[in-house]
Amino acid sequence: MEVQVLGDHHGTLVHLGERECSIQRRHQKLVEETPCTVLTPRLRRDMTEAALAAARAVGYTNAGTVEFLLDADGRYYFLEMNTRIQVEHPITEWVTGIDIVAAQLRIAAGEPLGLTQADVAPRGHAIEARLYAEDPAASFFPSAGPILGLREPAGPGIRVDSGIAAGSIVPLDYDPMLAKISAWGPDRRTALGRLRAALADTAVLGPTTNLAFLQDVLAAPAFARGETHTEFLAEHLPAWRQSSGGEATAALAAALALARPAATAATGGHAPAATPWDTLGSWRLGT
């Protein structure tokens, strides 16, 4: 569990609510949501006040995240503070309407934050899934190489934060995250339905990704009930293997295959200029 805070140089310090980040593998987050389904109003008040007290004690400025562990009996324990923006900030922006990156820039420029705690009025529910270039069926081993085709989802309540495009090379030198796909809805059920549809409409050709694994996580009945915890994957997907799906990827592959003859015709019957990826066979550059 983590609480997003913002503090400026003029003494204003506010929280933007909590994020639930229990779906993890090797302590790496995969799915985050807000608000948390198990927090009571009193527990939410106590936890957010504790986060503000910690930030206030050190005169904190900037965006930051105070992290806690929450046990089954409703007791929470301070874990750490991340003195930076977090990967999962889009879901907080979804429910609060506050651009956290813009707020950071204003704070860095010495400007007042321009809002008080009373101005923070979360609405609806948001969930985010992290798309990684890794193979869940092989102990999440990293996958590298060129992105041959990419289709990102769109639609009401859908947001994609990514730094890739068709033709990008995914190296082994960096974090394997390719994109963050998030969804908002007036309630959790709607947000979850939109995110499931968005993932079903996502396709990546080239490196192996965790897309099918994410779909199975979100399809788990326990996830739909909000019964998430740090051992969720071990309990519900202990020996995961891809069983179905991939319709969007198959459609994208077919579209690319059909486009190649069209490209040849457009060049007067001559094939387009060869690229290294046409001649490497099964080999892929890893650096």
d(CA 128, CA 192): 9
Residue 80 in 3-state DSSP? Answer: strand
Question: Which amino acid belongs to residue 276?
Answer: P
Residue 212: DSSP 8-state = H
How far are the Cα atoms of 36, 87, 115, 148, 188 from residue 182, in angstroms, in the given order?
A: 16, 11, 25, 23, 12
Which of 45, 75, 84, 241 is flagged as catalytic? 84
Q: How many CB atoms lie within 10 A of CB 82?
A: 14
Cα end-to-end distance, the chain, whole Å: 36
In whole angstroms, give the CA distance from residue 8 to residue 207: 42
Helix axes 211-219, 188-200, angle to 10 degrees: 150
**Is residue 84 among the annotated active site residues?**
yes
Report the SS3 class of residue 29: strand
Q: Please give the angle made by the CA atoms of 20, 22 and 23, to the nearest 5 degrees.
A: 115
Do 202 and 217 meet the contact criterion of CB atoms below 8 Å apart?
A: no
- Quick one: DSSP state of residue 274? P
* Residues labelled catalytic: 84
